[in-house]
Structure 1
């Protein structure tokens, strides 16, 4: 049987013919013993499958936990309150250092840090002013003209 001269269409039609012939022959040649065996196999699989899925789920969960422990990943809840904003609270030591030959973008990083510091300072001042205004308004309610 040579496949060199066959086209893709010929090959697919031959495979289709083999599939239909073998499938129909598989069920016509079954004896009662074979039917019973087939029913037992399918029934056992359908009864055991939920347990197999749960077992696989447990094994996969354990594998994910081990991977997370190995890589040192932390959850979002562990990060709350621990995120540091670049340039906030940093000392200005790196701004005073001399530029190194391969240190591209240093000036941009310094500008960004300064911008973040100034923006945070402005926001803190605005919030402080709002709180002071609110407390003054509350006090004015109780004052009599």
Structure 2
């Protein structure tokens, strides 16, 4: 029962939207004066002439940004990451110095030194577990591939 009422209300809403769209578009063009037609043609023509240049400008800016981003990421790759060794992973609070901690008083809502150290240890342990799991999966896959060739 509720489904039927909902179906009716959806179909009624769509019907209302369709009627409003038809009425508004026909009235918009029926009440236009020659000055309004000229204005519309100028706006559409200007858009058609300027759009290709805007697209080229946007593509140029996007390519420039992509090149900048790719250069930054290429510089960050360490050879050990390519070999599957431990890579550089940013750990929160690692760059904190003791001088900064002494200068700043701990305010409510900020982490103290022990909390940051605890968080770093937790993140390191989690990353090591994940890396171990990935190594194990990779070894299992290579074992399966070898077994596949031996059996086949």
User: Shorter-normalised TM-score: what interval?
Assistant: 0.3 to 0.5
Name the structure, 1 or 2, with higher relative contact order (CA <8 Å, separation 6+): 1
Higher helix share: 2
User: Scaled by the length of structure 2, what TM-score is found?
Assistant: 0.45
> Highest Rg: 1 or 2?
1
User: Scaled by the length of structure 1, what TM-score is found?
Assistant: 0.47
